Amino acid sequence: MSATPPPPPQQPYGGAAQQLSPADEKLWATLVHVGGILFNWIPALIGYLVLKDRGPFVRAHTATALNFQITLFIAYVVGWILTIVGIGLLILLAVWVVNIVFSIIAAVKANQGAYYVYPVAIKFVS
């Protein structure tokens, strides 16, 4: 009579998330910043919600990316509203350029393993 081995222990729901390796933290932080160029605040929000408890480095980068992208989203809304006056098109162009430039700088810093804080971001999450 052969006995089957007991099943492996299950991690309880809501348990502590497994920490990412430093290389994975750098990868995800870089991807969140680059994702902001293409998809605005969505990658930063998803990254923050999913990865914030997976390591201090990725938490700092996802939070700063989310703050920056929310700030830019507000600027986009203001720009669209002000297109009625005409100045809105300049605001939209400036916000687009700022998004590309600062997101690339942040992605490079994250890939190098350095912390980065965007110079023009309202702090909504920490």
What are 33-90's pLDDT values in tens digits? 999 999 999 999 999 999 999 999 999 999 999 999 999 999 999 999 999 998 999 9
How many independent structural domains does the chain possess?
A: 1
Domain span including residue 73? 22-110
**Structural domain includes residue 44:** yes
**Structural domain includes residue 1:** no
What's the pLDDT tens digit per position in 59-71? 999 999 999 999 9
Q: How far is CA 36 from CA 1, 16, 82, 97, 114, in A?
A: 59, 28, 23, 12, 18
**Structural domain includes residue 85:** yes
**Structural domain includes residue 101:** yes
pTM of the model: 0.83
For the chain, the average pLDDT equals 90
Q: Is the pLDDT of residue 99 over 90?
A: yes
